[in-house]
Structure 1
Amino acid sequence: MSKKCFALISFVLVFGLVSNASAELVGQWKLDDGGGTTALDATGNGNNGTLEDDPVVVDGQFGQALAFDNSRVTIPASDSLTADLFQGSFTLSAWINPTRTGNTWQQIFRAWKVDGNSNDTLFINNDGTLSWRGRVNAAWAGGMCETAPDVVPAGQWTHVAVTGDGTNFRVYVNGALSQESAFQITDGTNETYYIGGNTGGAGESYAGIVDDLRVYNHALSEADVRSSMENQGGAIVKAYGPDPKNGAMLEATWVTLSWRAGDLAVSHDVYMGDNFDDVNNGAADTFQGNQASTMLIAGFVGFPYPDGLVPGTTYYWRTDGVNPDDPNSPWKGDVWSFWIPPRIAWQPAPADGVNYVDPDVELSWTGGFGAKLHTVYFGESLDDVSNATGGAAQSAATYTAGPLAKDTVYYWRVDEFEAPVTHKGDVWSFTTLPDIAVTDPSLLAW
């Protein structure tokens, strides 16, 4: 094949990825947001729920909680609250105060599958039985894990938890193991999570109060379950609920940071920078000041980063709760992050340096931040592709150069045009499948 470079200019959309930011506690709904239509995820992972059919704000085990009666909180699956949650290692816990009236089976929490006929559900029965059950294609997958009756009293607060580790399910009541059974997988993809009952499931809706429901992506030990139960009622001293959510992509050169204050904070020391260690250690040049507000603007004149945030950069930030009247102050916050995509093209497909690519491959990429036009150079010579200029215009967002030769290294580059500047892209490469003669009659394909 000729070493001549081919070029095109095309319009593309800018796509982004949001990373998963949490390693253990992937969702926590304190259910004390004071009404409205949102149940905030206190982990900062952005798994906020929507209140439907008017659950009522009431006094909870700790602060406020939600009382359910044919109502629910609906939470979509996400990068952290994953579509395969509960098929591996997990923990689900909550404080509940059931009426034990109404439906025989009452959903405290349900993971609803895409097929609409399968789910994983934590039930409380009106006889006080607590159970973790799975349904596959509208049929129950055995008893799963079910306690004896009357382990959960009516009209009293009880801490309940279920864990799965791939080998066993375990149900805990007030921090003590109540029932254990073999692990069972309910195949399917989780689409939506519900607290209090799923939409259209009035026959299994929960009647009672739920407070501080948590989901972990690993199985807690009995000691951990007990510790979690004992600590759930304590004051939340660290800031939480970052916006943008931790690990988010931001397509702008400015940002408004906001967060939820810890229970004891009266002001906040705010740190922001492009180095995790500096922010984590509170380096002087990352300190943006002490403020009463739970909001910080950056990227404008008169604010931090007056020249604007820089594309292609990950920024880290942290807020420490401050209360001069408390000897434990300040309370160091978690380090959160967001990132801005680069101005050059990124996320090539096939990936840079990959081998065994089909000669009929179609190339694609993600456009750089702010780019409107893109010029693609393609060929067998690294120098030619690296130094090429110009090129014919096309409107396609993909490029097919084939059929390509086998066992050949190809190079390609995408330049991004953001008027009046062109941002030269990196040179990527891939190698096509080798040309191997089939001499073994038992070899059916290569």
Structure 2
Amino acid sequence: MKSPIPPLIAGFFCLAMTSHAALIAHYKFDETSGTSAVDELGVTNGVIGSGVTINQTGKSGGAYLFPDNIADSGIVDMGNAAFFSSISNQVTYSVWMNSTDSDANRNTIIFSGSDTVANSYMDLGMSGETANDGPATARNRPSGANSAVTPAKSAQQTGILGGTTRIDDGLWHHLAMTVNLTTGILTLYVDGVSAATQDFNAGVVAFPIFNNFEIGRLGRQGSKADAYGGLVDDVQVYNTALSAPEISYLFNNPGQAVPEPAAFALAGLGLLVLVQRKRG
């Protein structure tokens, strides 16, 4: 009797059945000239501020260097991105970063929210709080929340700190955050591994208003804040909460997006055929 399908191949098929990746924006930051950050999906390009230096060595291909400046010149601005209309009750943000920024403010890499309503946003980046300087941080802040900053939470804010491991070490790190309103769970991943998970408990299980997407600062309504200084590469947005294996795939395959389920199935089938041929 032939032996069972090896665990690795079975894992491929399992992932194929459960995967539901839906990429809605992908910024590789590989540009060598110009002022436009190209969305590989052709949905919404970003405007590169004059203070952002492009054509840097990235984790995969090129990268942008951000100047730690809250001015419009220090960010990449996608504005009211068209892909917002594809976000319903789940979302994932993924990014590679490399920084030694250790000032007293949060260092916001991805901002996704409102620039017309106070305190309505999601952000992913690196903590600069005095007592918790250096780890990754993520927040979901629905409209109107006026509560303490990360890692505290209130009835209207969910925020988490990625443990105590510092990422302001001048090395490349992969950050991802997933938010699922159905389960009420926010998960922060660092280098392919879940670093912290938080449920919304009695909080407002909702997303913020989405009308502004920026890289490099907290682009909220009123005063902008919490600029990021350092390298950024390969920003991806999905309209689903990616699974742990899918986040691991992003970490292990810099510059690539999570394949659609059919691609995983084909990969598993190819491995199965290869193994069977070797056995024959």
- What is the TM-score when the length of structure 1 is the normalising length? 0.44
CA drift of 1:228 comes to: 1.9
Q: Is structure 2 residue 194 aligned with structure 1 residue 177?
A: yes
Number of residue pairs matched by the alignment = 210
**Which residue of 19, 28, 31 corresponds with 1:30?**
28
Q: Is structure 2 residue 230 aligned with structure 1 residue 213?
A: no
The answer to whether the 8 A contact 1:41-1:47 is kept is: yes
Runs of 4+ with deviation above 3 angstroms: 140-143, 183-188, 198-203
Q: Please give the alpha-carbon distance, in whole angstroms, between the structure 1 residues aligned to 2:79 and 2:164.
A: 32
SS at match of 1:129: strand
Residue 298 of structure 1 aligns with which residue? none
Indicate the RMSD between aligned Cα atoms, in angstroms: 2.4
1:234–1:186: structure 2 CA closer, same or farther, 3 Å change rule? closer
CA drift of 1:185 comes to: 3.8
Letter in 2 for 1:147: G
Q: Deviations over 1:29-84 (max 9, x none)?
A: 1111113211000123x2101112421122111121011121111113344332x8
Q: Is structure 2 residue 197 aligned with structure 1 residue 197?
A: no
The answer to whether the 8 A contact 2:28-2:255 is kept is: no
1:78–1:205: structure 2 CA closer, same or farther, 3 Å change rule? closer
Residue 99 of structure 1 aligns with which residue? 100
Q: Please give the alpha-carbon distance, in whole angstroms, between the structure 2 residues aligned to 1:181 and 1:209.
A: 28
Q: Please give the alpha-carbon distance, in whole angstroms, between the structure 1 residues aligned to 2:97 and 2:57.
A: 12
The answer to whether the 8 A contact 2:65-2:229 is kept is: yes
The answer to whether the 8 A contact 1:51-1:74 is kept is: yes
SS at match of 2:44: coil
Q: Deviations over 1:138-172 (max 9, x none)?
A: 61444522222334242000011011122211111
**Which residue of 114, 135, 139 corresponds with 1:133?**
139
SS at match of 1:226: helix
Letter in 1 for 2:254: Q
**Which residue of 248, 270, 274 corresponds with 1:226?**
248
Residue 48 of structure 2 aligns with which residue? 51
Q: Aligned runs of 1:321-360 on 2, under 5 Å? A: none
Residue 156 of structure 1 aligns with which residue? 171
Q: Deviations over 1:170-215 (max 9, x none)?
A: 1111111110011454555311100111457564000111100100
The answer to whether the 8 A contact 1:144-1:182 is kept is: no
Q: Please give the alpha-carbon distance, in whole angstroms, between the structure 1 residues aligned to 2:223 and 2:236.
A: 22
Letter in 2 for 1:90: V
1:191–1:232: structure 2 CA closer, same or farther, 3 Å change rule? same
Letter in 2 for 1:51: I
Q: Please give the alpha-carbon distance, in whole angstroms, between the structure 1 residues aligned to 2:230 and 2:84.
A: 25
Residue 116 of structure 1 aligns with which residue? 117
Letter in 1 for 2:195: S
Q: Please give the alpha-carbon distance, in whole angstroms, between the structure 2 residues aligned to 1:63 and 1:201.
A: 34
The structure whose residues are more often helix, as a share, is 2
Letter in 2 for 1:193: F
Could you tell me the percent identity over the aligned residues? Answer: 27
Unpaired stretches in structure 2, ≥5 consecutive residues: 1-20, 148-155, 258-280
Residue 267 of structure 2 aligns with which residue? none
Q: Please give the alpha-carbon distance, in whole angstroms, between the structure 2 residues aligned to 1:42 and 1:173.
A: 24
Q: Is structure 2 residue 84 aligned with structure 1 residue 81?
A: yes
Q: Please give the alpha-carbon distance, in whole angstroms, between the structure 2 residues aligned to 1:81 and 1:125.
A: 26
The answer to whether the 8 A contact 1:24-1:217 is kept is: yes
Larger Rg computed on CA atoms: 1
The structure whose residues are more often strand, as a share, is 1
Letter in 2 for 1:68: F
Q: Please give the alpha-carbon distance, in whole angstroms, between the structure 2 residues aligned to 1:234 and 1:218.
A: 17
Q: Please give the alpha-carbon distance, in whole angstroms, between the structure 2 residues aligned to 1:78 and 1:233.
A: 21
Q: Please give the alpha-carbon distance, in whole angstroms, between the structure 2 residues aligned to 1:134 and 1:220.
A: 16
Q: Deviations over 1:243-293 (max 9, x none)?
A: xxxxxxxxxxxxxxxxxxxxxxxxxxxxxxxxxxxxxxxxxxxxxxxxxxx
Unpaired stretches in structure 1, ≥5 consecutive residues: 1-22, 236-446
Q: Please give the alpha-carbon distance, in whole angstroms, between the structure 1 residues aligned to 2:78 and 2:208.
A: 17
SS at match of 1:104: coil
Residue 329 of structure 1 aligns with which residue? none
The answer to whether the 8 A contact 1:160-1:171 is kept is: yes
Q: Please give the alpha-carbon distance, in whole angstroms, between the structure 1 residues aligned to 2:58 and 2:108.
A: 19
Letter in 1 for 2:209: T
1:114–1:198: structure 2 CA closer, same or farther, 3 Å change rule? closer
Q: Please give the alpha-carbon distance, in whole angstroms, between the structure 2 residues aligned to 1:201 and 1:61.
A: 32
- What is the TM-score when the length of structure 2 is the normalising length? 0.68
Letter in 1 for 2:252: E
The answer to whether the 8 A contact 2:135-2:168 is kept is: no
Q: Which has the higher contact order (CA 8 A, sep 6+)?
A: 2
